[in-house]
């Protein structure tokens, strides 16, 4: 999809403006309509703020209708009937289109419990989550009172809207919606970057299977050419980086025992800030390693 | 089983001496008989050397008969028919009594290939191995020539004999047959030993299931009260130490994100020297960790 | 000086008991006399507590006289006139017999200021201090009110007495008066202890010269045969451990640049707990090193 | 001095070309003259190669005259009589204009010994050196035979010429004549960059005084805004980076002993590759630290 310049949006007719932004908040063109009156916007952050201000200014029952316009997460019947293209893509990003039966049941159970308690669907910005963290979030939020959850739902709608806006509109400023996960390997045995080391990033799952979500090989700088995750929020969750250092040292004719003391090294860590920069390096010799949260 | 003092063995009748030691080498009282003539022994290492010298001095066909007196590894039929108590205990120590069908098949296949190539059973000191490393050793040794394997078989018989002697005889000196695996946790966040941290030692398996082989909690010194493995050879193989540092820091009211950056920390390493001392410590903060091979 | 068994002290005549202990607190046999009535003592800690209880029970003017019976620190005139052997040894331990003119002046100034403010000499257990930390302590305590300093003086007298008792009396229990500073070198380049590495311990001084207070060479375990400081309190102060790793790696034919990236490695740290155990290790490769406070 | 574009040099008259480049090699316009014939140059590396080719092609006695045209290092008489501006600036960069009497004597002695042995002055690209490393280089090279030293002198002339060219001429490509020394601080106590930490870079001297050659404060990224050394060769020598972490942690209300275990942390290392990238980071908590050669 081609993106539109903010300046063009500022100059567009009301109808065109609304047509572009109507799904930034699910099924709610009225929000774009309200915001249009505040044009021109100096930047995309201002545009986002105007959309959010429209929601904040709405009557409670309108807010509630807005919340109710959202689909359930991982709901087979709703998916069959058709979601907005945006919702479908977002839910797939967290793997909600690849759920096992056990996982479907888990989601169905929490969706039901949530709807029963609050009378509206659980809303979460799924692109900021893994399956695991969505389920944990569900459980935490189920303990809240309704008022808190109305506020939380609108916060999540704001996050969803920010990500959709970022996809739609080009401006001089940026919405802070992306994170970055990177690594590098420093070979302290020779005092140089560890080049040519195979690296895997695994998303760990409590329920269901862990899965490899990125594979790379370190370059001459000991880094991967691309961030392991970049240009999107980092899904909250638990991860493992795996480095094949056994092969690396074997190829460099370092004298090693059989089997080598270190072979595949796993670094296990969690991401809690989807918009953060996480740098998780490996400092290594054939006999030692260390890691830390860098930035 | 009560152990006998070396001085008593030195003073025993020939018959008694042989009765005690006849199974130090599988079904081969003649070896004890030969060695008896060299009494008195100044130490257990000298006694072991005398037993081995008897084997070395034997004619090649006698050596071959000795090798053939040994059972196959993990052979159901032979186990049903009955092994020596010593063999049974040793094979069980490596988990050969807990094989899955797939593992039995793997062992049957390599046993068959080995017997076919060399005309005698594959002998290995199983107490120095995990299932994984036995299978790797099999494959390596299958590539040897017969002469090499005869020599290797006798080396392994010497190791088995040393471990059996160590169980049977008390002397002032010690056979070097035991290794030690230990850990400790240093909490660099507060500059103190990490006390009260749950630790698991997992034996990793390529074929079949990895399994927890030790569980402990660090004491006030950040160490485990007992070595994770001690008083026996360290089985060659791949391991993972897992430390529950998330719970540790949460209980100490350290400000942590949700989920915490570090929760369960796995340290993955291999043991290649069964008689070695491996110290695998964890230096940790809520944001970093390191390990190294200590001793 | 030969030490006396606590059991003998328990059985001694009053005169003998007092004769042995009269200088445990400077020039104050009355304290031993009071304590004698509480015999027998189950341990040396109980004996020490009895001596201290005698001081606590004394009238304020008696306590003040006791404090006044102590000499000034580093006072030339008093030294010339003669101190107790105990005081002389203690003051020398902190280097107070090796003061430069500038240092003498510094001590004279603070001694004068302290006496003028409080009307009694500044008392400190010098064996727990370096020259630097004595001067810092002086400055801190000069800001106190007289009541606080009376209490502090008696605390220091208790510490001095504990150290003197420890020298004089043998018992089953120990007074907690000794600390220990140790190190070890782990060579992560080869996964073994760093053996044969020259180590120096330097006491850093703000005023005057830093000086080497221990020299050693690491043994096969990468440790020094003796603790760097042991069997005495660790003087509060700033230190540097210096390891000659350039020579160590050069002798092991590791390929190094000229000059090597790492040659003499200084680890700089401070000791604040004289009775603590400080373990300050060096984990090293030719390209990296780390240290931490261990115990 | 304004720099000239390579394209302009390519288009210049022979006289102008020579006028610009005549001192790239000390007092030797004939070299520029020879090189001019090879115009146009595609890049500055090609220009440098042409100048060096002219030297290589010259007769031995011409080469010797070229070598002899160079001044002695740190020679008071020659300095008084006047060196080229280039030589003066270069010698000053290594501190040769700030020599103590003892250092002058040391240089005079080695200069004399060198001239006596070889009949020509010792030539070195001083911008790649500290005083210490010049004296070490002197001693190493004094042991060579004359033929080796003629070759070494021309190598050093090539390095001096490269640095002078880099100052004079702007081109699309770059001569590899600059190095970079950088640092950063990672605070593993809080999992964030260590911001606001005072850092000093000290050049260590064997003879004479060590001196602070850069001071900085870490920024929000835990880095210094500028490299500690950049835009020039890194002088071969021994250095110490000093980080004031005691103040940093004290200001963050971390509970610390008095004195703090770590206060000023020195990282001591040597530079051997003037054109290299050295990254010397500090990973730190109030109780531990580590460093490594990064890049």
| Predicted confidence (pLDDT) at residue C250 exceeds the cutoff of 70 | yes
Among A238, A287, A291, the residue with its CB nearest the CB of B259 is A238
D90 and D113 share one domain? yes
Is D139 an 8 Å CB contact of chain C?
A: no
Answer yes or no: is D295 within a domain.
Answer: no
C49 and C150 share one domain? yes
Q: Which of A267-281, C83-97, C193-207 has the lowest mean pLDDT?
A: C83-97
Which pLDDT band, with edges at 50, 70 and 90, does B137 fall under?
very high
How crowded is residue A95: how many other Cβ atoms within 10 Å of its Cβ?
22
Domain total of chain D: 2
Q: What is the CATH number of the domain that holds C193?
A: 2.60.40.180
Rounded distance, CA B243 to CA B235, Å? 21
| Predicted confidence (pLDDT) at residue A143 exceeds the cutoff of 80 | yes
Q: Which of B85-99, C126-140, D12-26, D102-116 has the lowest mean pLDDT?
A: B85-99
Provide the shortest C-alpha distance from residue A200 to chain C (in Å). Answer: 25
Which pLDDT band, with edges at 50, 70 and 90, does C1 fall under?
low
Contacts of B286 in chain D (CB under 8 A): 191
B141 and B192 share one domain? no
Q: What share of chain A in percent tops pLDDT 70?
A: 98
Neighbouring chains of B at 3+ CB pairs under 8 Å are: A, C, D
Is the Cβ pair A259, B268 closer than 8 Å?
A: no
Contacts of A283 in chain C (CB under 8 A): 288
Contacts of B294 in chain C (CB under 8 A): 186
Which pLDDT band, with edges at 50, 70 and 90, does B101 fall under?
confident
Closest CA to A63 of A74, A54, A76: A54
Provide the shortest C-alpha distance from residue D77 to chain C (in Å). Answer: 32
Is the Cβ pair D292, A221 closer than 8 Å?
A: no
Find out whether B108 and B96 touch, Cβ atoms under 8 Å.
no
D85 and D161 share one domain? yes
**Residues annotated in a binding site of B for substrate:** 184, 223, 292
Residue of C nearest to A260 (CA): C191
The reported pLDDT for the residue numbered A104 is 83
Neighbouring chains of D at 3+ CB pairs under 8 Å are: A, B, C
| Predicted confidence (pLDDT) at residue C56 exceeds the cutoff of 90 | yes
Is C49 an 8 Å CB contact of chain B?
A: no
A14 and A157 share one domain? yes
Is B195 an 8 Å CB contact of chain C?
A: no
Q: Which of residues 219-248 of D touch A (CB under 8 A)?
A: 221
Residues B126-148, mean pLDDT to the nearest whole number: 93
Q: What share of chain D in percent tops pLDDT 90?
A: 78
Is the Cβ pair D295, A221 closer than 8 Å?
A: yes
| Each residue's pLDDT tens digit, A232-242 | 999 999 999 99
Neighbouring chains of C at 3+ CB pairs under 8 Å are: A, B, D
Is C261 an 8 Å CB contact of chain D?
A: yes
The reported pLDDT for the residue numbered B110 is 87
Which pLDDT band, with edges at 50, 70 and 90, does B97 fall under?
confident
Answer yes or no: is B295 within a domain.
Answer: no
Contacts of A260 (CB under 8 A, 6+ apart): A246, A249, A250, A286, B270, B272
Please, which residues bridge with residue B236 across strands?
A: B129
Which pLDDT band, with edges at 50, 70 and 90, does B103 fall under?
confident
Q: What is the DSSP letter of C276?
A: S
**Residues annotated in a binding site of A for substrate:** 184, 223, 292
Which pLDDT band, with edges at 50, 70 and 90, does A55 fall under?
very high
Is the Cβ pair B285, D283 closer than 8 Å?
A: no
Answer yes or no: is C295 within a domain.
Answer: no
Answer yes or no: is D102 within a domain.
Answer: yes
> Mean pLDDT over all residues of chain C?
93
Is C190 an 8 Å CB contact of chain B?
A: no
Please, which residues bridge with residue D241 across strands?
A: D201, D267
Is the Cβ pair D292, A191 closer than 8 Å?
A: yes
| Each residue's pLDDT tens digit, D146-190 | 999 999 999 999 999 999 999 999 999 999 999 999 999 999 999
D68 and D160 share one domain? yes
Residue B27 is inside which H or E element, if any?
A: none
| Each residue's pLDDT tens digit, D28-45 | 899 999 999 999 999 999
Contacts of C176 (CB under 8 A, 6+ apart): C275
Q: What is the CATH number of the domain that holds C50?
A: 1.10.3330.10
> Mean pLDDT over all residues of chain D?
93
| Each residue's pLDDT tens digit, B196-216 | 999 999 999 886 789 999 999
Answer yes or no: is D72 within a domain.
Answer: yes
Residues D271-291, mean pLDDT to the nearest whole number: 98
**Residues annotated in a binding site of A:** 184, 223, 292
Among B186, B293, B295, the residue with its CB nearest the CB of C294 is B186
ipTM for this prediction: 0.93
Is the Cβ pair B288, A290 closer than 8 Å?
A: yes
Provide the shortest C-alpha distance from residue D283 to chain B (in Å). Answer: 10
D58 and D197 share one domain? no
| SS3 state at D207 | coil
Which pLDDT band, with edges at 50, 70 and 90, does B1 fall under?
low
| Each residue's pLDDT tens digit, B237-252 | 999 999 999 999 999 9
Residue of B nearest to D287 (CA): B191
Q: Which of residues 98-137 of A touch B (CB under 8 A)?
A: 133, 136
Is D193 an 8 Å CB contact of chain A?
A: yes
Is the Cβ pair A285, C286 closer than 8 Å?
A: no
Residue of D nearest to C133 (CA): D259
Among C189, C261, C283, the residue with its CB nearest the CB of A189 is C189
C156 and C193 share one domain? no
Is the Cβ pair A287, C261 closer than 8 Å?
A: no
Q: Which of B170, B192, B219 is the last residue of a domain?
A: B170
| SS3 state at C110 | helix
Provide the shortest C-alpha distance from residue D221 to chain A (in Å). Answer: 8
Is A254 an 8 Å CB contact of chain C?
A: no
Contacts of B293 in chain C (CB under 8 A): 188, 191
Rounded distance, CA A102 to CA A98, Å? 11
Contacts of D265 in chain C (CB under 8 A): 268
Is D265 an 8 Å CB contact of chain C?
A: yes
Is C283 an 8 Å CB contact of chain B?
A: yes
Contacts of D258 in chain C (CB under 8 A): 272
The reported pLDDT for the residue numbered A95 is 76
Provide the shortest C-alpha distance from residue C289 to chain D (in Å). Answer: 6
Provide the shortest C-alpha distance from residue B217 to chain C (in Å). Answer: 18
Domain coverage including residue A28: 4-170
Q: Determine whether the annotation assigns residue D223 to a binding site.
A: yes
Answer yes or no: is A159 within a domain.
Answer: yes
Q: Determine whether the annotation assigns residue C223 to a binding site.
A: yes
Answer yes or no: is A118 within a domain.
Answer: yes
Contacts of B283 in chain D (CB under 8 A): 288
| Each residue's pLDDT tens digit, C140-161 | 999 999 999 999 999 999 999 9
B166 and B211 share one domain? no
Is the Cβ pair D188, B285 closer than 8 Å?
A: yes
pTM of the predicted structure, to 2 decimals: 0.93
Among B191, B193, B292, the residue with its CB nearest the CB of C283 is B292
Answer yes or no: is A295 within a domain.
Answer: no
Provide the shortest C-alpha distance from residue B295 to chain C (in Å). Answer: 7
| Each residue's pLDDT tens digit, D119-136 | 999 999 999 999 889 989
Contacts of B7 (CB under 8 A, 6+ apart): none
The reported pLDDT for the residue numbered D54 is 96
Is B77 an 8 Å CB contact of chain C?
A: no
Is D186 an 8 Å CB contact of chain A?
A: yes
Residues C265-289, mean pLDDT to the nearest whole number: 98
Q: Which of B137, B170, B203 is the last residue of a domain?
A: B170
Is C264 an 8 Å CB contact of chain D?
A: yes
B137 and B211 share one domain? no
Rounded distance, CA A188 to CA A287, Å? 10
Is the Cβ pair B188, D287 closer than 8 Å?
A: yes
Q: What share of chain D in percent tops pLDDT 70?
A: 98
The reported pLDDT for the residue numbered D206 is 83
DSSP string, chain A: ---EEHHHHHHS-HHHHHHHHTTTSTT-HHHHHHHHTTPPPSSHHHHHHHHHHHHHHS-HHHHHHHHHTSPPTT-HHHHHH---HHHHHHHHHTTTTS--HHHHHHHHHHHHHHHHHHSS-----GGGB-HHHHHHHHHHHHTS-HHHHHHHHHHHHHHHHHHHHHHHEE-SS--S--EEEE-BEEETTTTEE--S-EEEEEEE-SSS--EEEEEEE--TTSB-SS-SEEEEPPPBEEEEEEEEHHHHHHHTT----SS-S-SEEEEEEEE--TTSEEE--EEEETTEEEEE-B-
The reported pLDDT for the residue numbered C52 is 96
The reported pLDDT for the residue numbered D116 is 94
| Each residue's pLDDT tens digit, D75-100 | 766 776 777 777 777 777 777 777 78
A50 and A148 share one domain? yes
Please, which residues bridge with residue C282 across strands?
A: C185
Residues B83-98, mean pLDDT to the nearest whole number: 76
Is the Cβ pair B188, D288 closer than 8 Å?
A: yes
Q: Which of D170, D193, D218 is the last residue of a domain?
A: D170
Q: Determine whether the annotation assigns residue D127 to a binding site.
A: no
The reported pLDDT for the residue numbered D1 is 56
Instruction: Report the residue of C180, C186, C219 to disrupt the B interface, i.e. the one with the largest count of B CBs within 10 Å.
Output: C186
Residues B70-93, mean pLDDT to the nearest whole number: 76
D222 and D283 share one domain? yes
Residues A1-28, mean pLDDT to the nearest whole number: 91
Residue of B nearest to C284 (CA): B292
CA D53 to chain CA centroid, nearest Å: 24
Which pLDDT band, with edges at 50, 70 and 90, does B68 fall under?
very high
């Amino acid at each position: 999809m081609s993106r539109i310049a903010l300046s063009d949006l500022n100059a567009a007719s009301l109808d065109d403006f609304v047509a572009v932004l109507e799904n930034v908040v699910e099924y709610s063109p009225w929000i774009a309509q309200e915001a249009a009156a505040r044009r021109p916007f100096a930047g995309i952050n201002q545009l986002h703020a105007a959309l959010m201000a429209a929601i904040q200014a709405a009557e409670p029952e309108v807010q509630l209708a807005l919340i109710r316009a959202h689909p359930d997460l991982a709901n087979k019947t709703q998916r069959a009937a058709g979601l907005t293209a945006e919702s479908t893509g977002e839910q797939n990003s967290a793997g909600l289109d690849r759920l096992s039966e056990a996982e479907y049941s888990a989601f169905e159970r929490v969706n039901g419990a949530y709807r029963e308690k609050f009378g509206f669907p659980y809303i979460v910005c799924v692109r900021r989550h893994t399956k695991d963290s969505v389920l944990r979030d569900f459980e935490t939020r189920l303990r809240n009172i309704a008022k808190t959850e109305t506020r939380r739902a609108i916060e999540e709608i704001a996050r969803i809207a920010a990500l959709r806006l970022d996809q739609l509109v080009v401006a001089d400023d940026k919405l802070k919606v992306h994170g970055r996960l990177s690594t590098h390997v420093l070979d302290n045995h020779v005092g140089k970057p560890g080049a040519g080391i195979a690296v895997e990033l695994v998303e760990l799952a409590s329920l269901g299977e862990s899965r490899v979500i990125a594979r790379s090989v370190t370059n001459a700088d000991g880094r991967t050419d691309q961030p392991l995750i970049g240009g999107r929020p980092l899904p909250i969750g638990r991860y493992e980086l795996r480095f094949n250092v056994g092969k690396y040292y074997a190829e460099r004719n370092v004298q090693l025992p059989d089997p080598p003391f270190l072979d595949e090294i796993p670094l296990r860590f969690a991401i809690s800030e989807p918009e953060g920069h996480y740098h998780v390096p490996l400092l290594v010799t054939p006999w030692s390693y260390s890691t830390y949260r860098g930035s």
